[in-house]
Copies of this chain bind each other. A is one copy, B any other.
Amino acid sequence: MLDRCFGARRIRQIQRTFRHGKITILCLFLTVLVLRGYLGAGKFGTPEQDFKEIKDHLHFRKRAEPHRVLEEAQTTTTETTENNNNNNNYGTFDPTKIAVDEEGDDEKPDPNKPYSLGPKISDWDEQRTKWLADNPNFPNFIAPNKPRVLLVTGSSPKPCENPIGDHYLLKSIKNKIDYCRLHAIEIFYNMALLDAEMAGFWAKLPLIRKLLLSHPEIEFLWWMDSDAMFTDMAFEVPWERYKDHNFVMHGWKEMIYDEKNWIGLNTGSFLLRNCQWSLDMLDAWSPMGPKGKIRDDAGKILTRELKGRPVFEADDQSAMVYLLITQRDKWGDKVYLENAYYLHGYWGILVDKYEEMIENYHPGLGDHRWPLVTHFVGCKPCGKFGDYSVERCLKQMDRAFNFGDNQILQIYGFTHKSLASRRVKRIRNDTSNPLEVKDELGLLHPSFKAVKVPASS
């Protein structure tokens, strides 16, 4: 009897254990699903996506100092995965779903037609000269030796994949607003992709052409990347130095023409004169830009021809190096490769020296002692993966911002508590005679801002 009891009992025991076990397992499985649901989607993507991003990330690591990574802050192509913006949720809402972006609506470029930035213009100098003569109230020089300059920058109209990226874009434009206010330079902040074929870093070309042609009163257009910041608020560009040149980039002749080095110059911060030569230059520069096969194939040529260039699609900087080395006779004489001051300053070799600079030097030098521009190439705060550690990038961007901001704050008697701190402290007490304050850096009423006093006033 007992044997029969145990036998049947054992069977029911097993059955019961199995039933309860199923519930337990189901419950544990649900827990895992929930965890994966929160960790998996949105933040880390699918495993397939992970692999691709890691691969891309490793790709960019294979570079010698100094680095240069694609400036993709302007990418607004339809390929960008909208779903990756889940982290930008304001509450539980996905803002990327507000905008109605109808895919496939772009005009499809005619594959048989070579790319063109626009209708050919051959008499721009004449057109412009006439316009300036007819419009004396929009002069191209706002003071003796002071050309009218438009600083052009921008970023994607989409929220950054990395939410913190938009905060750094905001600080970056504030930084530019400050410098430009002191130096009587106007700003154009672009958030529109004017030509779908020229997306990404190439987007600046159609934009620049459009602005030059629309604004004949502009003498120089100053393109500046969104990841570049002004760190010398007192330095005025030596415009006179470039009176015989049309295109000023930071770079070294030897690195371009002798070494054919892909980072022999930098197109993250450059000056372009508003003239026929520049329109022709833009036309000559653009052919490697159209996305897809053209850009990919061009990238291979550039990697083959230029020293140190990794494998990736054609970028505007490499294309410029290639243009100069292959057509030096045509363009070289009007291109000024500037390295006496940091029109572009690679952040890696500058940011650790700010305290030393403060100790030993002063604003107004613009060079290695006090760089005009600190450019965070490779950091990509707007994207997901940069080429450097996140912590280092963001920390140094804060320091660079504060380093520049201190020069503004000191005008008003304040400074950041430290280069790492957002907070400010007073360094000069207010008085009842504010106009007697010594303007140490000459930034309160800078000479480069002064209007020309009319002769008969």
Given contacts A173-B170, A193-B424, contact A91 B390 (CB under 8 A): yes
Bound-state Cα–Cα, A445 to B135, Å: 10
Q: Does A308 contact B (CB under 8 A)?
A: no
Bound-state Cα–Cα, A190 to B169, Å: 15
Chain B residues with Cβ below 8 Å from A164 are 88-90, 95, 159, 163, 166
Bound-state Cα–Cα, A189 to B445, Å: 18
Residue of B nearest to A23 (CB): B24
Bound-state Cα–Cα, A418 to B100, Å: 8
**Partner of A173 from B173, B188, B411, B450 at Cβ < 8 Å:** B173
Q: Does A332 contact B (CB under 8 A)?
A: no
Q: Which 8 A-B pairs have the closest CB atoms?
A: A163-B163, A20-B20, A166-B166, A137-B450, A5-B5, A27-B27, A157-B422, A213-B434
Q: Does A174 contact B (CB under 8 A)?
A: yes
Whether the pair A137, B452 counts as a contact (CB closer than 8 A) is: yes
Given contacts A90-B394, A451-B137, contact A76 B174 (CB under 8 A): no
Bound-state Cα–Cα, A302 to B294, Å: 67
Whether the pair B98, A420 counts as a contact (CB closer than 8 A) is: yes
A3-37 contacts to B (CB < 8 Å) = 5, 9, 12-13, 16-17, 20-21, 23-24, 27-28, 30-31, 34-35
A431-451 contacts to B (CB < 8 Å) = 431-435, 437, 444-445, 449-451
Q: Does A110 contact B (CB under 8 A)?
A: no
Select the residue from A27, A35, A43 with max chain B CB neighbours within 10 A. Answer: A27
Whether the pair A24, B20 counts as a contact (CB closer than 8 A) is: yes
Whether the pair A5, B1 counts as a contact (CB closer than 8 A) is: yes
Whether the pair A98, B394 counts as a contact (CB closer than 8 A) is: yes
Proximity bits, A243-275, B CB within 8 Å = 1, else 0: 000000000000000000000000000000000
Residue of B nearest to A381 (CB): B90
Nearest CB in chain B: distance from A449 CB, A: 8
Residue of B nearest to A137 (CB): B450
Binds B, one of A63-71, A113-121, A281-289, A367-375: A113-121
Nearest CB in chain B: distance from A183 CB, A: 12
Residue of B nearest to A418 (CB): B100
A363-390 contacts to B (CB < 8 Å) = 381, 384, 390
**Partner of A421 from B100, B163, B191, B211 at Cβ < 8 Å:** B100
Q: Does A417 contact B (CB under 8 A)?
A: yes
Chain B residues with Cβ below 8 Å from A137 are 450-453
Bound-state Cα–Cα, A391 to B304, Å: 50
Q: Does A329 contact B (CB under 8 A)?
A: no
**Partner of A162 from B9, B91, B213, B432 at Cβ < 8 Å:** B91
Bound-state Cα–Cα, A76 to B416, Å: 14
Nearest CB in chain B: distance from A383 CB, A: 10
Whether the pair A454, B451 counts as a contact (CB closer than 8 A) is: no
Whether the pair A420, B99 counts as a contact (CB closer than 8 A) is: yes
Chain B residues with Cβ below 8 Å from A360 are none
Proximity bits, A395-410, B CB within 8 Å = 1, else 0: 1001000000100010
**Partner of A166 from B98, B138, B163, B450 at Cβ < 8 Å:** B163
Whether the pair B131, A435 counts as a contact (CB closer than 8 A) is: yes
Whether the pair A417, B102 counts as a contact (CB closer than 8 A) is: yes
Whether the pair B101, A422 counts as a contact (CB closer than 8 A) is: yes
A273-331 contacts to B (CB < 8 Å) = none
Nearest CB in chain B: distance from A121 CB, A: 5
Whether the pair B27, A432 counts as a contact (CB closer than 8 A) is: no
Whether the pair B158, A422 counts as a contact (CB closer than 8 A) is: yes
Select the residue from A34, A411, A423, A445 with max chain B CB neighbours within 10 A. Answer: A423
Q: Does A192 contact B (CB under 8 A)?
A: yes
Proximity bits, A114-150, B CB within 8 Å = 1, else 0: 0000111110000110010001111100100000000
**Partner of A101 from B76, B101, B423 at Cβ < 8 Å:** B423
